[in-house]
Amino acid sequence: MSNPINAVRGMNDLLPVDTALWQSVEKIMREILRTFGYQEIRLPILEKTELFKRSIGEATDIVEKEMYTFLDRNNESLTLRPEGTASCVRAGIEHGLFYNQIQRLWYMGPNFRYERPQKGRYRQFYHCGAEVFGLEGPDVDAELILLSARILEKLNLTSHVRLQINSLGDSQSRAAYRKVLVDYLTKHQDQLDEDSQRRLVTNPLRILDSKNPAMQNLIVKAPKLMDHLDTESAMHFEKLQTYLTSAGLQFELNPCLVRGLDYYSKTVFEWVTTELGAQGTVCAGGRYDGLVEQLGGKATPALGFAFGLERVMLMVQQLGLAPAPNEPTLYFITDGEAALTQAFKLVNIARDALPHLRVLLHCGGGSLKNQFKKADKSGAEVALILGEQELNAKAITLKMLRENIPQRLISQNELAEELQKLFK
Ligand code: HAM
């Protein structure tokens, strides 16, 4: 036997024990997005590398060290998408979706980042993202945040997460603040760790996001971006808070929330939890009013968020909120070739009568005893048994597998009605 080949580190298989949970969470998300008027967009997994460099930013961790980038056979540099926003903007520009139109879009799918894998952090991970284009007021910021809150509520996670918000201002006020921050940090350069020394030049705002305990004192005392906001951004942020309060949504102001991607302006937010250890952000997003223009489109205000699906699943599982696995309800057992042949007719009748019922026809032969064992193991509630006796009587035996009720013979002609009565 040759050596088995394992999956790439940090890239997970989702096995049947996991997919029932994934499907039910995805369904809840899709349904809420639909009711908020969002439409699905499906985007390629591969994009030109330049797209991510220009949008996420050359000096970010993602672009500097986390992208899966390679040359294709035509020597073109391509990258496995590390996130969905850049692709969504690219597609919107390419297909003219932003011309005098408001777009509310959502997507679900895998992303790739070469990070150090740990609980809640993987090299392939899934997003469920939402993006809105063409609206600049704080009302839509509130509406988008409320959409994310509703998803969390429907997943029963509300009491396990906290909403943090901040404003990054417009690009001028941010540039002015950057100077103030760099002055402050330069004065205390001896207290900066190696990463932050580097960031002082490339991306000083990200220093505020450092988790290094030795630097927290320095960060807490740093000048606040909030105190350097331009008037419009400050008003925008005030209004957003008024709307969230009116909707009864609790939030925390986190002046150190700066996000790891360069395209944000004004509102940024994260839903955080203490349930997942170090990787505590389950959903994150914000406004990115400059990005459409930066990528070659007509200036269009925009904002969005993405849920990290693995983290959502981990929470739901850990808190015991996962739905029951997808087990068959009805299990057909047959004895002999003639019975099996007839059973093919009867399973159709059962499936037509109850389209949502999970019906399994035993395949692979075996003794009746063996088939009963399989039926029991499958989790089915009801077995339908077809042997020679039943065939002769044009009947079928119905046996409740989880209740102590005597089995009974029903007519094959009445199978549909009997099942409808049983599962109504
Ligand atoms: P992000 O913060 O990079 O934002 O990712 C969003 C979420 O994806 C994170 O909060 C986290 O839950 C999850 N996530 C990120 N990296 C990993 C990983 N390596 N393993 C597992 N989960 C991960 C964005 O990507 C933006 N595109 C969000 C956005 C949409 N902003 C505006 N529109």
Q: Among 25-29, 56-60, 324-328, 414-418, which stretch is predicted with the lowest mean pLDDT? A: 324-328
Rounded distance between C-alpha atoms, residue 17 and residue 22, angstroms: 10
Which residues have C-beta within 8 Å of that of residue 68, sequence separation ≥ 6?
A: 79, 80, 82, 112, 114
Rounded distance between C-alpha atoms, residue 357 and residue 255, angstroms: 52
The CATH classification number of 330-422 equals 3.40.50.800
Tokens coding 392 = 């002769």
Nearest Cα residue to atom 8 of ligand 1? 308
Chain-wide mean pLDDT for the chain? 95
DSSP for 235-277 reads HHHHHHHHHHHHTT---EE-TT---SSTT-EEEEEEEE-STTT
Question: What distance in angstroms lies between residue 284's CA and the mean position of ligand 1's atoms?
Answer: 6
- pLDDT recorded at residue 165: 98
Rounded distance between C-alpha atoms, residue 419 and residue 422, angstroms: 5
Stretch(es) of the chain classified as CATH 3.30.930.10: 16-170+230-318
Helices (H) and strands (E) in the chain, counts: 15, 16
Q: Is the pLDDT of residue 328 over 90?
A: no
- pLDDT recorded at residue 404: 94
Stretch(es) of the chain classified as CATH 3.40.50.800: 330-422
Question: What distance in angstroms lies between residue 168's CA and the mean position of ligand 1's atoms?
Answer: 18
Which residues have C-beta within 8 Å of that of residue 178, sequence separation ≥ 6?
A: 204, 205
- pLDDT recorded at residue 321: 84
Mean pLDDT of 167-178: 92
Q: Among 323-332, 344-353, 393-402, which stretch is predicted with the lowest mean pLDDT? A: 323-332
- pLDDT recorded at residue 241: 98
Q: Is the separation of the CB atoms in 77 and 49 below 8 Å?
A: yes
H helices present in 131-210, as ranges = 138-154, 171-187, 194-202
- pLDDT recorded at residue 197: 92
Please give the number of the atom of ligand 1 that sits closest to the Cα of 127. 8
Which residues have C-beta within 8 Å of that of residue 18, sequence separation ≥ 6?
A: 313
Tokens coding 412 = 């094959």
Tokens coding 82 = 């590390």
- pLDDT recorded at residue 325: 67
Beta carbon of 81 within 6 Å of any ligand 1 atom: no
Rounded distance between C-alpha atoms, residue 290 and residue 161, angstroms: 30
Please give the number of the atom of ligand 1 that sits closest to the Cα of 281. 10
Beta-sheet pairing, 330-334 with 382-386: parallel
Residue 296: which region, alpha, beta or left (left: phi > 0; alpha: psi -120 to 50)? Answer: left
Residue 156: which region, alpha, beta or left (left: phi > 0; alpha: psi -120 to 50)? Answer: left
Write phi, then psi, for 282 (nearest 5 degrees). -100, -20
What is the best residue among 114, 261, 269 to mutate for testing ligand 1's pocket, by most ligand atoms within 8 Å of CB? 261
Question: What distance in angstroms lies between residue 214's CA and the mean position of ligand 1's atoms?
Answer: 26
Q: Which helix (H) or strand (E) holds 163?
A: strand 162-167
Q: What percent of the chain has pLDDT over 90?
A: 89
Q: How many CB atoms lie within 10 A of CB 16?
A: 8
Q: What percent of the chain has pLDDT over 70?
A: 99
Q: Is the pLDDT of residue 326 over 80?
A: no
User: Tens digit of pLDDT for each residue in 339-372?
Assistant: 999 999 999 999 999 998 999 999 999 999 999 9
Confidence band of 320 (pLDDT split at 50, 70, 90): confident
Rounded distance between C-alpha atoms, residue 43 and residue 378, angstroms: 37
Question: What distance in angstroms lies between residue 279's CA and the mean position of ligand 1's atoms?
Answer: 11
Q: Among 26-35, 147-156, 174-183, 232-241, which stretch is predicted with the lowest mean pLDDT? A: 174-183
Q: Is the separation of the CB atoms in 357 and 351 below 8 Å?
A: yes
Beta carbon of 66 within 6 Å of any ligand 1 atom: no
Q: Is the pLDDT of residue 405 over 70?
A: yes
Mean pLDDT of 380-389: 96
Q: Is the pLDDT of residue 323 over 80?
A: no
- pLDDT recorded at residue 322: 80
Domain 16-170+230-318 CATH class label: alpha beta
More confident residue, 88 or 226: 88
Mean pLDDT of 161-170: 96
Confidence band of 19 (pLDDT split at 50, 70, 90): very high
Place of tokens 């209740």: 403
- pLDDT recorded at residue 209: 85
